[in-house]
Structure 1
């Protein structure tokens, strides 16, 4: 456990759900904070009576969704400042088209399964002008699922939540690696297909 994680866990006991909300909000903006570990700890502390489970879950969900919406807005604002040659290029249009087709699933899965990719997905959604109405539903569903999943694991395994946290970190790394390999293979196949049709 790092020094910052230890300090945040102590602060979570002292400041409760407001500290949890602040960490989840900042983590959604890309600040490297141990959000999943804090959720597990919050679940364990709720089981021990330190936190109110319903208030902590509600605060965590609202904070995470707010952070996602803020990073989406940042992407939307930054996207308009990019040079026209970038925004009108094939790569940018391809990303926007792909996001138009798979955006809902990309947003949903990166909320609770492939969480390290959540910020890039938020920025891409905003910068490609993905409709806010379509972005919001998977964000809300995914963040609630994330809060309930990790908070619930902490609650269920309150006596050994640190071991569950280590397992979750390892699993997240493996899932992210597998997703990146799959994405690379898909991109390679698309490139080979385009080269084949161009001949």
Structure 2
């Protein structure tokens, strides 16, 4: 008998969401041992991480968010599929962060959309330099791929005002009812079915 392992990318996305919003979140049905590089970077950024048994994880966001240096690589290294979500974290970190993308080309398409929200990001080849600021501002932004869409939803959680994320069919390829899970943690997200967007 076999069981499908939990999705470490979805778990990581929810962990980042909890941290950047200053939350105290318990994730159930996860495999923390599959998330080593993500948890290491969350701790570096200032998160309090508690591993509870074999399949629970507590993430507490409090106080200062510290800048990070991230290089994507194959498992068990830092996953390219968490690059956009951690870039959002770096956008509000206290200092200068760097994210180097070593797996895919053209994986920084979300940068332009984050810049619409006030993010200070400069691209240097395969490296993004992110100068953190206190806050992001709401905007209408467009998803360009699966993980970029998740990153933009997270950016909307911390932006002042109402952010509209369009073309969320990308999001649905990799997440099951992400907005419902985030709403259960206190977010205010509404799916606009016909507009293919969420607010």
TM-score, normalization by structure 1: 0.22
The structure richer in helix per residue is 1
Higher RCO (CA-CA < 8 Å; seq separation 6+):
1
Q: Select the structure of larger CA radius of gyration.
A: 1
